[in-house]
Structure 1
Amino acid sequence: MNTFNQFGQPIGEELVDWQPRQHPDRVVLNGRYCRLEPLRVEHAGALFAAYQQAEDTRSWTWLLREPDTTIAEYSQWIASVCELSDPIHFAVIDNQTQLPVGSLALMRIDPKNGVVEVGHVHFSPLMSRSPLSTEAQYLLMRYVFEGLGYRRYEWKCNSLNEPSRRAALRLGFQYEGRFRQALVVKGHNRDTDWFSILDKEWQALECAFQSWLATDNFTADGKQIRSLESWRETRF
């Protein structure tokens, strides 16, 4: 609800006792199917092998850099980013195999305003047709909202990246608009679509995630019984 100043001008909802939030840490986040742990050079070999399971390099199309061609090259990239305070990269570890199968990051971290973005999402084929990709996203969201108390969680993608747009909406992000000619990536224009989840939306979303991730929501061969969207509609 808007409040007004002495001139009768609307100045937005008052945030009583708001304090800047903690900067995210390099923490381990445990789930039923996977865990997130800070990305390290030691992950390079298994992660590179996981990405090599793909038939082609289409999963790199929307990333900001070109595919790595050797383990050494990929190791060098991890070494260049693994100690940064922003972005903070996490490896997704499959709890069954104990091997890394993908990565993602918290970025554009703004503790003063309680805002952070998830990005650098690169999941290998070993995460396909499994709950791992959803749980990995859920674990990071839960850390941001419950562990850190942030107000806003962002998702941004190339407006032409339809799989990313669908993923954001499936996970419960709300579409906010398009920033035209936002970037030049690999010599091409990029219009960027913005999505977000707010803290006041988190409780209902978390209930839907927990219901979807429950073991009784999957058949013996790993197929979902009810979609995440249907659980969310039930909760709302």
Structure 2
Amino acid sequence: MVQRVNEYGQAIGEPMPQWQPARAPGDQPMTGRYCRLERVDVERHADDLYEAYSAAPDGRDWTYLPVGPFDTREAYRDFLTSCAASPDPLHHTVIDLATGKAIGTLSLMRIDKANGVIEVGFVVFSQRLQKTRMATESLFLLMQRVFDELGYRRFEWKCDALNAPSRAAAARFGFTYEGIFRQAVTYKGRNRDTAWFSIIDSEWPALRAGFAQWLDEANFDAQGTQRRTLQACIAAQRP
């Protein structure tokens, strides 16, 4: 691609004459084959979520989050109340369609409509959700909303640079690693260097096709084991 320059001979970015600001996320549920995402509701979701999180043998799932773990149902309910009232982060509950139970949460956050940038964050998946088709589908449903419905250009994933499982998940979901922001924030009395990942809109068609292929029932044998990995499905769709 030929680099554009202005009248002073300075390199400049590509023009965007058709760009319109992205839209704000709404409250409509997102339903897939295995799960549904809906806005956090304390009365409908708090008990299910607390029970799902309490089934874990220890508090390691909360290590890299700024809150938790929660020792009592009341403490978690108070936290979820603040989540339900928040416009950004905009918290969603993951509902298992097979049981109707709430088994995790995740959010859309740092919503920048003018520039078309949005982040997925505050991912709190119970052990009933981790490493399931529902976990993958929940990210896919958010991506569909972000790119296909709302018109964002960039979808971000950020995590503590020491959070190896989160970094591995970002790579599996097709995010591109961009680097480390050193001493970016503090939480729980400690430093956080932040690892940045992103997906941009030009990458989305291949990712969408790869996710759809992986999530298809035909990709799983009678025991529920995947025939092809998500990364292989995505790689097959990329030019």
Instruction: State the TM-score bracket (shorter-chain normalisation).
Output: over 0.9
Equivalent residue runs for 1:24-173 within 5 Å: 24-42=25-43, 43-173=45-175
1:221, distance to aligned residue in structure 2 (A):
2.0
Give 5+ residue unaligned stretches, structure 2: none
| Cα pair 1:3 1:14 within 8 Å, conserved | no
Letter of the aligned partner of 1:25 in structure 2? G
**Deviation of 1:129 (Å):** 4.1
Q: Which moved more, 1:56-65 or 1:4-13?
A: 4-13
Alpha-carbon distance in 2 for matches of 1:234, 1:46: 38
The amino acid of 1:195's aligned partner reads: F
Residue of structure 1 equivalent to 2:19: 18
TM-score, normalising length: structure 1: 0.97
Q: Please, what TM-score do these two structures have when normalized by structure 2?
A: 0.96
- Return the alpha-carbon distance in structure 1 between the equivalents of residues 233 and 69 of structure 2: 37
- Say which of 219, 222, 231 aligns to 2:221: 219
Paired residue secondary structure (1:126): coil
Give me the whole-angstrom Cα distance separating, in 2, the residues matched to 1:5 and 1:56.
Answer: 58
What secondary structure sits across from 2:128 in the alignment?
A: helix
In structure 2, what is the equivalent of residue 7 of structure 1? 8
Structure 1 Cα separation of the partners of residues 223 and 124 of structure 2: 25
CA distance in 2, matches of 1:53, 1:212: 28
Compute the RMSD of aligned alpha carbons: 1.0
Letter in 1 for 2:81: A
Deviations 1:106-144 (A, max 9, x none): 000000000000000000011134201000011001100
Q: CA deviation at 1:4?
A: 2.2
Percent identical residues: 49
Q: Runs in 1 of length 4+ with deviation above 4 angstroms?
A: none
CA–CA separation in structure 1 for the residues paired with 2:216 and 2:68: 37
SS in 2 for 1:222: coil
User: Match of 2:234?
Assistant: 232
Q: Which sections of structure 1, spanning at least 5 residues, go unmatched?
A: none
